[in-house]
Structure 1
Amino acid sequence: MGTRNGAGAGMGAGSAEGGGLPGAGGGEESTSRRLRARQAAATSKRAAAKTGSVIGSGARLAGRGARAGASRVVQFTGSKGAAESGLAKLVHLQFVSAAGDAAVAVSLAGTLFFTLPTDQARPQVAQFLLLTMAPFAIVAPFIGPFLDRFRHGRRWAIGVTCALRGFLCWVLADAIVNGSVWVFPAALGCLVSSKAFTVTRASAVPRLLPKDFTLVNANSRISLANVAGAAVGGGLAAAISQLGPSWSLRFAFAVFIGGTVLSILLPARVDSSAGERDIGGLLALPPAPGDEAPSHRVLRRFRSLRPSVLQGLRCVLGARLMTGFLTLYLAFMLREQPISHVNPTLLLGLVVAAAGIGNSLGTVTGNLLKDKAPERIGLTVLSVDVAMAIITAVLYGIVTVIAMGLVAGLCGQLAKLSYDALVQRDVPEVVRTSVFARSETAFQISWVIGGALGIILPLIPQVGFGVVAFLLVGVLTWTLVAWRRRLSAERLATDGG
């Protein structure tokens, strides 16, 4: 018994010791695990701290880069006296307006008529353009005189175009969500208000020119602001629209409210009418070669402008006609007949991007060619437009379509800058504002007519681009004949003198 008890005790002790060994081993494992967990946590904290430091440094660098970029942009827009004259504020306003318009375009791209079948969409777009053109066709003869008499509220007139677009964007946001019948009227109102802004803004540019600053320089800066604003506004709206088109429209609403404030804060010189006259009144024109009559003559609207200015006007009208046609014709053509199975939306986006690049290149080229005869530049770019339209009709494909967008943007901008130079050279300062207001209205109508052709013409590239090329050849021939007559008359007058 005692032996058994001793053995039992020994076994018990051994068991206790054996039991103690596993317990002791478990304690060591637990401690090891805790140590490893602490080391891992410490490593994670160090990695997180390092990552946070890198992100923070990147954010600070990005912030400094953005501030430096914005500072350089502000310095550029305000250089050469533009800040003092107030032109820089008008450039900033154009940036904001373009950003808002781009946001509206992105918001409506997938929700309006382009979601319908082509047979249903084309009649609706035709009605839309008809309603767009009608107000300008009717109001165009009165916009210039109205603006010329509305002297002491021009800033408010510009502001109203921004505020109205903001209000209509809010209406559109609710109308799209609810499927309301107000979608088309509100979209139409946005488009008309945007065109009205362009007209009123064009009339303000001559009032804000710094000393020794040309209209070409001013409109080049405004054009660059337009391209940059469209890119920024369109990109932000595309990101916001992932939440729904109503959100990107509300973003556009906020942008236009900011534009309204900027409009009111424009310099008081925008409202000044000192020394200005309406284009329909008595003008002091420099005498044409061989003229013996007094230089004071009564001019009536565009028909009374110098032949050189009318030539530039025709070139811009042809370029805008091409741009309007290309915009809507390709929107339907690429959707109905994709090229090489390329995504139509992607290809249309590439064409739009090419047009934007062409516009920027036109601005740079226009400044490089500022010493060249603007009449020749206008004729050249119109000829290039015609040639590219013919090439696209014959060799329709991805390359030619993108090239057509690039050429349309480049030629359109060069034609406009050439026209600005002609107005600066051959139109008296007292009526320059009135001429710009009227000509901008004519340009907008030409764009709408081109868009209407893009809807009416059959979706056969050889037919569509062929017809437009034929029309542009007619405009080019008309312009060349008038130009040769003018040169002949000047030569005869010089020889006679």
Structure 2
Amino acid sequence: MITELRQLLRLSGFRRLLTVRLVSQAADGMFQVGLASAWFFSPDAAGSAAAVAGRYALMLAPFTLVGPFAGALLDRWRRRQVLLVGNLVRALLTLAMAATVVATGPDAWGVLVLGLAALSVNRFLLAGLSAGLPNVVEGRLLLTANSITPTLGAGAAFLGGGVGFVVAWVLPAGRTADAAALACAAVVMLLGALAAGRLRRDQLGPLTPRRGDLRGDLAAVLRDLVAGARYLAARRTPGQALAVMAAHRFLYGVVFIASILIARNLLAPPGDSAAGLATFALILGLTAVGGAAAVVVTPTLSRATGPQVWIALMLLLAAASQLLLCTTPSRAVVLTGAGLLGLAAQAAKIAVDTIVQRDTRDDFRGRAFALYDVLYNAAFVGAAVLAALFVPDAGWSRPLFAALAVAYVLVAAWVWLRAAREPEQIVDSSPSRNPQLSPTLP
């Protein structure tokens, strides 16, 4: 790995693209912290469950609605220009958002619309970074590059989020602190545009941009997603894994929104947005620690149980975390529950990824993971709708967490007792379009 990393760093195109990724994702981390501070923890922002859930649904809408179609557009546009212009556009949107926060407060419609637009642009940037990588890295080094760059990007986003948190925490709570965090993110976005400008105009492709009917291409994306869904359902194990993942993300999303409300309205002094944001950051940190533990234990233990049983066991662990939260909304209980749920969520996701990769034919894997992305985010949007209706403004309710625990147990029982362990053998008469699928012998 070290040798291959050195070889990668000798490639000027890879170094420049990696720089764009690191700077852009650091800006994204700062932006998301500024957004969270303004939308969820600002004294001027409404702290009701409906308000928090609505804003959270808006944050995820671009990833659900824009994501599937990003590829069709990136095959038409120069990806280097997407990175350069995209960073410039979202910097301007973020500066406008910061000014609007100061002028009208974080709950103004202008802030919501600008935030939604900036997040939509960010979705194209992430897709463009991935799509451009094969144009600067070839052969066996591409696998290493695909392994390294998302990890380094996530680290940059974490560091950027830390800087954004410090800015929001050091300044007096209110509109000025929220706007300052967003303005700092805009400055880093401009640096991302400058970094993209160091790449040659055509260096990231596409080598032959697509022409013709854009509407037809977008319709083809929908047809491919439908074909992928039919294939996964007929194959059984990957389709069931995605369904379980969606159910898990739906329940996790309700807990996530409840955690925002608990951090803001129960575990922080009234009106102290900095304390609320710090508490929520601690909850996310413990969730990340649980996720890191899952990376260590899952590869070893899941081999002994099989991925389906492992998923069921992790769903039961998630149920236990919700039963713990039924006791009392103390800081220790909330943080412990966050760690357990982080472990359960990441461990189950690793097993789901394994099932989908192992049991999906290669020419359907792209569509499978496109559906994965849509379901992953759509489940959170659905959770926001449920949270707006049933989560109390304080965030904590014994009946709520008891119901979540029961739901986790029911999903675990279905996986343990009814989920297929081996994929169904199928015939696909037209893999590139809407397939006619039917069971057959191996």
Give the aligned partner of residue 289 of structure 2: 357
Aligned residue for 2:267, secondary structure, equals: coil
Compared with structure 1, are the counterparts of its residues 414 and 204 closer, same or farther at alpha carbon in structure 2 (3 Å cutoff)? farther
Measured in 2, the distance between the counterparts of 1:330 and 1:398 equals 11
Measured in 1, the distance between the counterparts of 2:111 and 2:388 equals 20
- Contact 1:91–1:222, Cα closer than 8 Å, also in 2: no
Give CA deviations for 1:432-478 in whole Å, capped at 9, x if unaligned: 33332332122112223334434432244312322333333344344
- Contact 1:319–1:411, Cα closer than 8 Å, also in 2: no
Compared with structure 1, are the counterparts of its residues 429 and 107 closer, same or farther at alpha carbon in structure 2 (3 Å cutoff)? same
In structure 2, which of residues 232, 256, 264 is the aligned counterpart of residue 327 of structure 1? 256
Is 1:256 aligned to 2:189, yes or no? yes
Residue 190 of structure 1 aligns with an amino acid whose one-letter code is A
Deviation for aligned residue 1:351: 0.9
Give the aligned partner of residue 238 of structure 2: 309
Residue 430 of structure 1 aligns with an amino acid whose one-letter code is D
Deviation for aligned residue 1:402: 0.8
Residue 414 of structure 1 aligns with an amino acid whose one-letter code is A
Is 1:144 aligned to 2:73, yes or no? no
Residue 160 of structure 2 aligns with an amino acid whose one-letter code is G
Residue 181 of structure 2 aligns with an amino acid whose one-letter code is S
Measured in 2, the distance between the counterparts of 1:433 and 1:261 equals 31
Give the aligned partner of residue 313 of structure 2: 380
Residue 257 of structure 2 aligns with an amino acid whose one-letter code is L
Give the aligned partner of residue 405 of structure 2: 469
Give the aligned partner of residue 66 of structure 1: none
Report 1:2-13 matches (<5 A): none
Report 1:448-463 matches (<5 A): 448-456=381-389, 457-458=391-392, 459-463=395-399
Give CA deviations for 1:109-146 in whole Å, capped at 9, x if unaligned: 44445335897644433443454566666x36xx5366
Is 1:115 aligned to 2:48, yes or no? no
Residue 144 of structure 1 aligns with an amino acid whose one-letter code is P
- Contact 1:279–1:434, Cα closer than 8 Å, also in 2: no
In structure 2, which of residues 373, 376, 381 is the aligned counterpart of residue 443 of structure 1? 376
Aligned residue for 1:302, secondary structure, equals: helix
Unpaired segments ≥5 residues, structure 1: 1-73, 283-297, 491-495
Residue 348 of structure 2 aligns with an amino acid whose one-letter code is A
Number of residue pairs matched? Answer: 395
Structure with greater helix share of residues: 1
Give the aligned partner of residue 434 of structure 2: none
- Contact 1:100–1:233, Cα closer than 8 Å, also in 2: yes
Deviation for aligned residue 1:252: 0.7
Residue 476 of structure 1 aligns with an amino acid whose one-letter code is A
Measured in 1, the distance between the counterparts of 2:291 and 2:397 equals 24
Give the aligned partner of residue 95 of structure 2: 170
Residue 173 of structure 1 aligns with an amino acid whose one-letter code is A
Give the aligned partner of residue 16 of structure 1: none
Report 1:19-30 matches (<5 A): none
Measured in 1, the distance between the counterparts of 2:133 and 2:316 equals 29
Compared with structure 1, are the counterparts of its residues 149 and 370 closer, same or farther at alpha carbon in structure 2 (3 Å cutoff)? farther
Is 1:222 aligned to 2:150, yes or no? yes
Is 1:336 aligned to 2:268, yes or no? no
Give CA deviations for 1:314-365 in whole Å, capped at 9, x if unaligned: 3432443344323321221243333999965443232121122223333444
Deviation for aligned residue 1:260: 4.4
In structure 1, which of residues 163, 186, 208 is the aligned counterpart of residue 114 of structure 2? 186
- Contact 1:203–1:436, Cα closer than 8 Å, also in 2: no
Aligned residue for 1:301, secondary structure, equals: helix
Measured in 1, the distance between the counterparts of 2:95 and 2:381 equals 25
Measured in 2, the distance between the counterparts of 1:443 and 1:167 equals 29
Measured in 2, the distance between the counterparts of 1:202 and 1:452 equals 31
Compared with structure 1, are the counterparts of its residues 399 and 309 closer, same or farther at alpha carbon in structure 2 (3 Å cutoff)? same
Unpaired segments ≥5 residues, structure 2: 209-219, 426-440
- Contact 1:113–1:121, Cα closer than 8 Å, also in 2: no
Deviation for aligned residue 1:389: 1.7
Give the aligned partner of residue 406 of structure 1: 339
Measured in 2, the distance between the counterparts of 1:76 and 1:344 equals 45
In structure 2, which of residues 133, 145, 160 is the aligned counterpart of residue 233 of structure 1? 160
Deviation for aligned residue 1:231: 3.3
Compared with structure 1, are the counterparts of its residues 120 and 81 closer, same or farther at alpha carbon in structure 2 (3 Å cutoff)? closer
Deviation for aligned residue 1:232: 1.5
Give the aligned partner of residue 33 of structure 2: 106
Give CA deviations for 1:67-106 in whole Å, capped at 9, x if unaligned: xxxxxxx969936969879888777655444422331233
Give CA deviations for 1:19-57 in whole Å, capped at 9, x if unaligned: xxxxxxxxxxxxxxxxxxxxxxxxxxxxxxxxxxxxxxx
Measured in 2, the distance between the counterparts of 1:105 and 1:310 equals 32
Residue 471 of structure 1 aligns with an amino acid whose one-letter code is A
Compared with structure 1, are the counterparts of its residues 338 and 481 closer, same or farther at alpha carbon in structure 2 (3 Å cutoff)? same
Measured in 1, the distance between the counterparts of 2:328 and 2:409 equals 19
Instruction: Compare CA radii of gyration and give the structure with the larger one.
Output: 1
TM-score, normalization: structure 1? 0.63
Measured in 2, the distance between the counterparts of 1:186 and 1:134 equals 13
Structure 1 stretch 156-165 or stretch 467-476: which is displaced more? 156-165
Is 1:347 aligned to 2:270, yes or no? no
Compared with structure 1, are the counterparts of its residues 389 and 433 closer, same or farther at alpha carbon in structure 2 (3 Å cutoff)? same
- Percent same amino acid at aligned positions? 20
Measured in 1, the distance between the counterparts of 2:312 and 2:261 equals 30
- Contact 1:316–1:412, Cα closer than 8 Å, also in 2: no
Compared with structure 1, are the counterparts of its residues 86 and 300 closer, same or farther at alpha carbon in structure 2 (3 Å cutoff)? farther
Give CA deviations for 1:368-403 in whole Å, capped at 9, x if unaligned: 669674444433333322222222224543233112
- Contact 2:312–2:413, Cα closer than 8 Å, also in 1: no
Compared with structure 1, are the counterparts of its residues 152 and 330 closer, same or farther at alpha carbon in structure 2 (3 Å cutoff)? same
Larger RCO (alpha carbons 8 Å, 6+ apart): 2
Residue 383 of structure 1 aligns with an amino acid whose one-letter code is L
Measured in 2, the distance between the counterparts of 1:252 and 1:119 equals 24
Compared with structure 1, are the counterparts of its residues 153 and 357 closer, same or farther at alpha carbon in structure 2 (3 Å cutoff)? farther
Give CA deviations for 1:404-451 in whole Å, capped at 9, x if unaligned: 222333333333333333343233333433332332122112223334
Aligned residue for 1:78, secondary structure, equals: helix
